[in-house]
Amino acid sequence: MKFMFIVKSGHRIPPTPALLEAMHKLANREIKAGRMLDNGGLMPLAEGAQVRIIDGQLSVLDGPFVEAKEVIGGYAVFELHSKEEAVASAVEFMQLHKDFLPGWEGTCELRAFAPGGP
Amino acid sequence: MRTARVRPGRPLSRDTTPDAHRAILAIWRIEQPRLITGLARLLRDVPLAEDLTQEALLAALERWPVTGVPEKPGAWLMTTARHRAFDHLRRGRMLERKHEMIAWELEEEERSLPDLESAQNDDIGDELLRLIFTACHPLLSQEARAALALRMICGLTTEEIARAFLLSEPTIAQRIVRAKRTLSESGLAYETPRGAELSERLDSVLEVVYLIFNEGYTAARGQDWLRPQLCNEALRMGRVLTSIAAHEPEAHGLLALMELNASRAAARTDAAGDPILMLEQNRALWDQLQIRRGMQALERARELGGAGGAYALQAAIIACHARAATAGDTDWPRIAELYAQLAAVVRSPIIELNRAVAVGMAEGPAAALAIVERLGQEPALKSYHLLPSVRGDLLHRLGRYQEAHAAFEAAANMAGNRREQDLLRRRAADAAGAAMTS
């Protein structure tokens, strides 16, 4: 089963070198264990854009943006056996934040990929 | 809420439900590779390391429902396993010098336990490779290697392996026990092979990974989701190998072959679960992202100088199909050429027969029939129904309908599968009909 992990936070605390190192080690371990297929951190929305449809109107918003309360900071894609494994994996990932970035608050949302073909 | 049970430090309220059991198994499975490699390094004894890894799981299943999941479950499992290792060695009276040394090291480590956590995410690549080489040692039968690999590398339980291979749990349990005993009694050194031995041992590993893949791939049926699971386990092992043995071209070649084959999974059966042949599949259902991963792995194998490897060549053949937008666009001359290269690496009459099919598509039936007639003397193909089946097809295309009819009849009598028999008898009847009207 494939899962996507999406990390959201309203905190703007930059990750400490210790957290980055711990996350790097964890990612490295998961890649070598054949479980992590892809991952990445995301730049703030100011570096990106939004393309929307509202009231039948398509519009491109290129900023400036009112900062959302919670922003997506990164994602990872895993191949795992079960939801339980995904939860255990996310708990381990978030524990690193608790250990290495005191005061930080956020959510790691895990979502199963829809089964079947494209 | 189910997930609340796995919250660190939160008691599982003596919860022994299947959900709690699965949650603990999930945590253990994440820690399992590091656990078993750490123990194997310490004890230099893979079967014992495997036993202790399992014992740590049993301990967690017993303790965590009462105490809650520890904040650092990995460290807890490792500490527990080390304690047991120490007990085990003490019980064995430490007669051997090797054990004395290990016992001393363990005692030292017991004293410095708080440091354990810092080692939690240590790079386990080399250790994992050593473990894979041991689990897939040529000393063991293919079946034993497959079971051990699924258990030690993928962390599957005996029950899960049994279900995946459609065998009983005691059969798999016994297979694993015997394999571990063979390893224990062999006195194998726990080390990564080098030089010429490395490639021989790597072959033994790749062979098993491919066996696991095919077990899931060729037998997959409609609702039987655990069989595709075997493909996923094999793909996972393939990814492990390409990341820890990154310079081995055939590891990339095998991963490419598996990714490219797996990309067709959704198109391989119809609604009733009956197989659809590749040339008749709906190519819109092929997973293009997986094809891309396969192509990348194949490219990597080539960059490493492995374009001529047996797995890379098979992957290159499948890549020709993956690249063709329609069956009619297939580059048959290239496929025929690749089969010729493959036949030079792996001497196999079945590969030669496949080459004949490709030649038949590329150059026409006459050239292909010449190859097939030569194969008629092969003892290995004596009862292989695809030989007369291919021959019948070529004869039919050449307008030699009487002979085609006889070939299809012969093929139908050899085929073991009812569906295939029906198909071949239909073709035999078509040929007979054509013979009458021609």
pLDDT at A43: 87
Q: Which amino acid is at B103?
A: A
Q: How many CB pairs under 8 A join A and B?
A: 80
Q: Would B387 be classed as within a structural domain?
A: no
Nearest beta carbon to residue A84 from set B22, B71, B236 = B22
H/E element, B347: none
Distance set, CA B95 to CA A83, B182, B183, B347 (Å): 46, 21, 20, 50
Q: Would B357 be classed as within a structural domain?
A: no
Q: Would B88 be classed as within a structural domain?
A: yes
Is CATH 3.30.70.1060 the right assignment for the domain spanning A2-112? Answer: yes
The pair of three-digit structure tokens given for residue B255, joined into one six-digit string? 């991963």
Q: Over 60: is that where the pLDDT of B6 sits?
A: no
- Please indicate, yes or no, whether residues B170 and B213 belong to a single structural domain of this protein: yes
Q: Would B368 be classed as within a structural domain?
A: no
pLDDT at B270: 82
CA angle B253, B225, B230 (to 5 degrees): 30
Nearest beta carbon to residue A34 from set B71, B121, B236 = B236
Query: Which of the four pLDDT bands, split at 50, 70 and 90, describes residue B115?
Result: very low
Query: Which of the four pLDDT bands, split at 50, 70 and 90, describes residue B16?
Result: low
The three-state secondary structure class of B360 is helix
Tens of pLDDT, residue by residue over A35-94, are 999 999 898 888 889 999 999 999 999 878 877 788 899 999 999 989 999 999 999 999
How far apart CA A27 and CA A33 sit, in angstroms, is 10
pLDDT at B216: 83
- Which residue blocks in B44-72 are alpha helix, DSSP H? 46-67
Q: Would B95 be classed as within a structural domain?
A: yes
pLDDT at B106: 65
pLDDT at B102: 66
Interface contact flag, A79 B236, Cβ < 8 Å: yes
The pair of three-digit structure tokens given for residue B392, joined into one six-digit string? 């019948």
Is the pTM higher than 0.95? The answer reads: no
pLDDT at B422: 84
How far apart CA B382 and CA B272 sit, in angstroms, is 33
Q: Please check whether residue B256 is in contact with residue B311, taking contact to mean a CB–CB distance below 8 angstroms.
A: yes
- Please indicate, yes or no, whether residues B222 and B179 belong to a single structural domain of this protein: yes
Tens of pLDDT, residue by residue over B162-209, are 888 888 999 999 999 999 999 989 888 788 888 788 888 899 999 999
- Please indicate, yes or no, whether residues B90 and B131 belong to a single structural domain of this protein: no
More reliable by pLDDT, B11 or B216 = B216
Nearest to B126 by CA among B41, B4, B211, B57: B41
Nearest to B216 by CA among B166, B156, B174: B166
In our burial notation (b when 16+ CB lie closer than 10 A, e otherwise), range B404-418 reads bbbbbbbbbebbeee
Tens of pLDDT, residue by residue over B364-392, are 999 999 999 999 888 888 888 899 999 99
In our burial notation (b when 16+ CB lie closer than 10 A, e otherwise), range B320-331 reads bbbebeeeeebb
Distance (Å) from the alpha carbon of B294 to chain A's nearest alpha carbon: 13
Which residues are registered as beta bridge partners of A53? Answer: A58
Interface contact flag, A31 B25, Cβ < 8 Å: no
Tens of pLDDT, residue by residue over B240-284, are 999 988 999 999 999 999 999 999 988 988 887 777 888 899 999
Q: Over 50: is that where the pLDDT of A3 sits?
A: yes
Which residues 64-93 of B have a C-beta within 8 angstroms of A? 71-74
Q: Please check whether residue A39 is in contact with residue A77, taking contact to mean a CB–CB distance below 8 angstroms.
A: yes
Tens of pLDDT, residue by residue over A90-112, are 999 999 999 999 999 999 999 99
Interface test with A, best of B159, B236, B296 (most A CBs within 10 A): B236
Query: Which of the four pLDDT bands, split at 50, 70 and 90, describes residue B4?
Result: very low
Q: Would B14 be classed as within a structural domain?
A: yes
Query: Which of the four pLDDT bands, split at 50, 70 and 90, describes residue B112?
Result: low
The total number of structural domains that make up chain B: 3
Q: Would B375 be classed as within a structural domain?
A: no
Q: Please check whether residue B204 is in contact with residue B137, taking contact to mean a CB–CB distance below 8 angstroms.
A: yes
**By residue range, what is the domain housing residue B317?**
247-325
How far apart CA B29 and CA B141 sit, in angstroms, is 26
Domain boundaries, chain A: 2-112
Q: Would B216 be classed as within a structural domain?
A: yes
DSSP secondary structure, B141-176, as one string: -HHHHHHHHHHHTS---HHHHHHHTT--HHHHHHHH
Residues of chain A contacting residue B238, judged by C-beta atoms under 8 Å apart: 34
Q: Over 70: is that where the pLDDT of B324 sits?
A: yes
Residues of chain B contacting residue A116, judged by C-beta atoms under 8 Å apart: 266
pLDDT at B214: 87
Tens of pLDDT, residue by residue over B221-237, are 434 544 778 899 999 99
ipTM attached to this prediction = 0.79
Which residues are registered as beta bridge partners of A75? Answer: A6, A40
